[in-house]
Amino acid sequence: MPELPEVETSKRHIKQYLLNAKILNIKSFVSKLRWEINPDIKKIFNNTVILKIDRIGKYILINTSNKNTLILHLGMSGYLRINEANVKKIKHDHIIMNIECITGEKKCLIFNDQRRFGHIDFHYTSLLKKHFLIKNLGIDGLSKSLKYDFLNKIFLNKTIVIKNALLDQKIICGIGNIYASEILFYSKIHPLKRVNNLCKNEINFLLFNINVVLSKAVLSGGTTIKDYKQPNGKIGYFKQKLKVYGREKLKCYDCSSIIFKLNINKRATYICPDCQKNKLVN
């Protein structure tokens, strides 16, 4: 679910409440999400102040005054929401962080995750890049440093197909299954094309469209297929703008050919067979 645009939308929204707020306490109602939750999380952040909120790939990073960083990943079905303090829990609310905002108001940040593929952890801010979830991440999908030379160098010696390369968080982080299909459609590249066969123009057009698709999706508040919600409770509105994802058997908006669904690594992939027919071309 939540890919870069959904995580970025969530980050931006919670930031207005969390920045400079005091964490009163963190409560966890499960012992594990994807992994065991370090029980120290319940007290180590008590009475700390939130100094900075960042995102890398699909991770939200919250720096606090005790020189720690909270690491949040929303998994497949997770979302965050801001509520008034002491609001009643609903199903799959797993973590609640009670805060006192800079305005003096008391609120809480709630992490809800039906499938529990998400995770919450923390690490010393200074050693964050050594954390097992962070250390192998590649360059962020919206980073200004994501340029031709960087990507070309990686693609040169690889034989994996481009769809899998886009999903590989060790290369570029933040792109997931929805945006991989969309980016390749925009780029007119077949998802099964091998990365070492991409020419300079294709890589540059791909880079351009990674930025276009992710930026546009952020502006729409992300994509809601099923569970995802913005922290204000609204859904994301990019679904209406998807050109191929989820549009099997419907007409391509550009050429009226029928959108086709295929599986790559067991994951749904959508293409316009006419707009992206360069599969075998070098």
| Catalytic site positions | 2-3, 58, 267
Q: Is residue 221 close enough to count as binding DNA by CB under 7 A? A: no
Q: What angle do CA 33, 37, 42 make, to 5 degrees?
A: 125
Q: Is residue 75 close enough to count as binding DNA by CB under 7 A? A: yes
Q: Is residue 121 close enough to count as binding DNA by CB under 7 A? A: no
The stretch among 13-21, 61-69, 132-140, 184-192 that binds DNA (CB under 7 A) is 132-140
Which 20-49 residues touch DNA, going by CB under 7 A?
32, 34
Which 239-278 residues touch DNA, going by CB under 7 A?
265-268
SS3 17: helix
**Cα–Cα dist 282/277, whole Å:** 12
Find, among 239, 179, 162, 246, the residue nearest to 214 by Cα.
179
Nearer to DNA, 68 or 112 (CB): 112
Structural contact between residues 99 and 86, judged by C-beta atoms closer than 8 angstroms: no
Structural contact between residues 70 and 83, judged by C-beta atoms closer than 8 angstroms: no
Q: Is residue 133 close enough to count as binding DNA by CB under 7 A? A: yes
The binder of DNA chosen from 63, 223, 230, 276 (CB under 7 A): 223
Q: Is residue 136 close enough to count as binding DNA by CB under 7 A? A: yes
SS3 215: helix
- Radius of gyration, alpha carbons of the chain: 20
Nearer to DNA, 45 or 79 (CB): 79
In the bound complex, what is the minimum distance in angstroms from residue 255's beta carbon to DNA?
24
Q: Is residue 3 close enough to count as binding DNA by CB under 7 A? A: yes
Helix ranges (DSSP H) in 137-199: 148-156, 162-167, 177-187
**Cα–Cα dist 125/78, whole Å:** 24
Find, among 108, 13, 123, 12, the residue nearest to 64 by Cα.
123
The binder of DNA chosen from 5, 6, 22, 109 (CB under 7 A): 6
Nearer to DNA, 99 or 272 (CB): 272
Q: Is residue 76 close enough to count as binding DNA by CB under 7 A? A: yes
**Cα–Cα dist 6/1, whole Å:** 8
Structural contact between residues 174 and 139, judged by C-beta atoms closer than 8 angstroms: no
Which 185-214 residues touch DNA, going by CB under 7 A?
none
Binding site for DNA (CB under 7 A): 1-3, 6, 32, 34, 57-58, 73, 75-77, 91-92, 114-117, 132-133, 136, 157-160, 164, 167, 169-170, 176-178, 223-228, 265-268
